[in-house]
Structure 1
Amino acid sequence: MDRLSVIGSILALASLLVGSVLKGAGLAALWSPAAFVIVFLGTLAAILLQSPMETFKRAMKIVRWVFQPPAQDRSAVIAQIVEWSTTARKQGLLGLEAQVALQPDPFLRKGLQMVVDGVEPESIRQMLEIELHGQGARDMAAAKVWEGMGIYSPTLGIIGAVLGLIAVMKNLADPSKLGHGIAAAFTATIYGIGLANLAFLPVASKLKGLINAQTEEREMIVEGLIAIAQGENPRNIEARLNGYVH
């Protein structure tokens, strides 16, 4: 569990609720069914028009990474690769065959299997980099779905405010309805700007960072597996891969 994401979410919600109370607007002022429909459904409609279905599904799937990021322990991965290189030098590449089925990561399992099968190092690099870049591109497109919602929601908030003001203008003959009508109109703006800056854009940024980190770790794995295939000294492999540890 990512504690910073949890704390940030709580503070984001508290900033709106407590701020509304301190400003004298009250919590009831933050609820508007009409604003909800315009901003939430409008943003959803816009992003569905923009995104292919598979990309949208991927975006909904990886959003959990914000609170439960994929496990990353580069030091442990380096130690494992160094251990494999030692085994390969003593027993040959076939000595790693038993390790293939034990790997939970499909990317690492596929790469190790190619090493065991004696595939040429350059071919290993080409095949793994194609998969690496393809997965990275798909994940980055999914992160941009959240970024897109952060772009659309403020505009939908303004549309909601304008529609609310139109309704107010129609009731100018009844001054008792003006104050409430104007307040309700600007609730849509709060929804749009608040969602963009406290939810959608931060989520997109967090996902992009996690995707870049995952891509970098897999690049490290590719370098390690190729070094094993080339029969490099385990100490040299460790020294090279340690450059990926920040």
Structure 2
Amino acid sequence: MQTILGFIIVFGSVTGGYLMATGKMAALWQPAEFIIILGAAIGALVISNPSYVIKNILTRIKMLMGKGYSQDYYKALLEVMFELLEIIRKDGIKKLDDHIENPAGSDIFNRYPEIANSNVLLSFITDNLRMMAMGKMNHHDLEAALEVELHTLEEDLLRPSKAMGKVGEAMPGFGIVAAVLGIVVTMQNIGGPLTLIGVKVAAALVGTFFGVLMAYGVFEPLASGMAGQVKKEMMALNMAAAILVAQVQGKPTLLALDAGRKVLHTEYKPSFSEMEGWVAKG
């Protein structure tokens, strides 16, 4: 919702100021300019990125328009990790086999849809628990393995936002392309009425305006928002990694959870007593 509000403010301010300056909205309606600019942008996106990244761009945009990550997401992660670690403490890690091998059928994961529906985080937890169950490993080895995996995951998750940012950087250039073509059309009508020439020049200038607006009012903010989503997702992954490392170190369950809690940013981080209350209720 915040993203939608931001777009309303951007376009409302631009059009509102234009109307206050006695501008006519009809003059801004130049479909040919829009087709040139947006078509070139989409084509550049298709040329420079695999289909996997393009699909993820659409997914990320849908996520930006939704609720996004909240404290409930991290609370659910703390609670699910508590349940998993308690099974390890009481019965050993082999008792997690059913949950690890079939997360969709796990009663633990199904109680926390925020985690069950987060494919990257769910795979990260189950894959690393599976690795831990395969043999004894010290916390240094696990920490090193997790560091490499987290770095790779972050690079992969950032690909859609980087692609969107690159297109955003090119939008003013595409606006100039549309404006130049508009001037070419104007020159073709140079012998016509002055009114017609004025309309053609105005249409060409709309191309420059639209390209710059799309760059700094749409594409760049979307790219930044998508990167912000990745940071929040990585915070959850780093949180899970810290908990797993603390568990391998032999720390009690609550202290292992506390290691993960400390990874959270201030607006999402519960106090130790709040976290203790969450898991106690669970």
Do these two structures clear the TM 0.5 threshold for a shared fold by scoring above it? yes
**What pairs with 1:11-90 in structure 2 (closer than 5 Å)?**
11-68=9-66, 69=68, 73-90=73-90
Aligned-residue offset at 1:146: 0.9
Match of 1:114 among 131, 143, 154: 131
Take 1:143 and 1:176, find their aligned partners in 2: how far apart are those partners?
44
Question: Matches of 2:65 and 2:135 in 1, distance apart?
Answer: 40
Gaps of 5+ in 2: 110-115, 117-121, 266-282
Report if the CA contact (8 A) 2:30-2:203 is conserved: yes
Q: 1:208, CA displacement in angstroms?
A: 0.7
Q: Is the 8 A contact 1:93 1:118 kept in 2?
A: no
Q: Quick check: 171-180 or 195-204, which moved more?
A: 171-180
Amino acid at match of 1:166: V
Aligned 1:128-147 pairs, distance under 5 A? 128-147=146-165
Which amino acid is 1:149 matched to? V
Shift of 1:134: 2.7
Which aligned pairs between 1:184-223 and structure 2 lie closer than 5 A? 184-223=203-242
Gapped runs of 5+ residues in structure 1? none
Find the aligned partners of 2:136 and 2:13 in 1 and give their Cα distance: 57
Of all paired residues, the percent bearing the same amino acid is 25
Comparing 45-54 and 145-154, the one that deviates more: 45-54
Give the corresponding residue for 2:257.
Answer: 238
Q: Which moved more, 1:26-35 or 1:127-136?
A: 127-136
Map Cα deviations across residues 82-109 of structure 1 (whole Å, 9 max, x no partner).
4433442232223444543333222222
Shift of 1:71: 6.5
Distance 1:119 1:216, change over 3 A: farther
1:91 partner amino acid: D
Residues 5-16 of structure 1 aligned to structure 2 (within 5 Å): 5-16=3-14
Higher relative contact order by CA 8 Å / sep ≥ 6: 1 or 2?
1
Amino acid at match of 2:167: M
Deviations 1:2-59 (A, max 9, x none): x211211222232343333323222211211220122111112222232233323332
Partner amino acid, structure 2, of 1:213: K
Judge conservation of contact 2:183–2:204 (CA < 8 Å) in 1. Answer: yes
CA RMSD of aligned residues (A): 2.5
Contact 1:88 1:228 in 2 (8 A): no
CA distance in 2, matches of 1:244, 1:126: 17
The Cα shift of 1:119 comes to 4.9
Say if 2:146 is the partner of 1:148.
no
Q: 1:95 to 1:231 in 2, by over 3 A?
A: farther
Residue 244 of structure 1 aligns to a residue whose secondary structure is: coil
How many residues get paired? 244
Matches of 1:134 and 1:57 in 2, distance apart? 19
Q: Give the Cα separation in 1 of the matches to 2:131 and 2:249.
A: 13
With normalisation by structure 1, the TM-score equals 0.86
Partner of 1:160: 178
Moved more, 92-101 or 56-65: 92-101
2:217 maps to a residue whose letter is L
Question: How much does 1:142 deviate?
Answer: 1.5
The correspondence for 1:177, drawn from 190, 196, 212, is 196
Alpha-carbon distance in structure 1 between the residues aligned to 2:32 and 2:159: 31
